[in-house]
Amino acid sequence: MAVQPIIVTPDLDRAQAFYSQVLGAAEVLRYPAEGPVFFKTLKIGDGELGLVVQETDVSLPARIVLSIDVEDVDAVLPLVEAAGGRVRGPANDMPWGQRVAHVFDPDGNPVNLTQKI
């Protein structure tokens, strides 16, 4: 059994570029294979993230947070704004043994970048 989060976005290319530039996401599936694409699966590490294009009000608050484990939070953090995202603040060491930075993707979806310390 596996769970695949799927992000609804009005701009598929922008969302894919963000996750590729910040996290090294690689496209593994697109549908349809020919013509205008409305769904993609991206591989990030051992997991997969779906992107589906649909008109959506990105000003509404998100109801989920993606938490993505990276090797070095401090090295990844500067890539966020360069890729069209927004950084909420610096990374912090948490008492449960993670270094965490809170960021937003270009559509305003919250993403936690985490690193085991």
Supply the DSSP string of the chain, one letter for each residue. -----EEEES-HHHHHHHHHHHH--EEEEEESSSSS--EEEEEETTEEEEEEE----TTSPPS--EEEE-S-HHHHHHHHHHTT-EE-S--EEETTTEEEEEEE-TT--EEEEEEE-
What per-residue confidence (pLDDT) applies to 108? Answer: 94
What per-residue confidence (pLDDT) applies to 37? Answer: 94
pLDDT higher at 1 or 16: 16
Is the whole-model pTM more than 0.75? yes
Task: Give the separation between CA 85 and CA 82, rounded to whole angstroms.
Answer: 7
Q: What percent of the chain has pLDDT over 70?
A: 99
What per-residue confidence (pLDDT) applies to 1? Answer: 58
CA dihedral 34, 35, 37, 42 (to 10 degrees): 30
Residue 2: band (very low, low, confident or very high) from pLDDT cuts 50, 70, 90: confident
Tell me if 7 sits within 8 A of 64, measured CB to CB: no
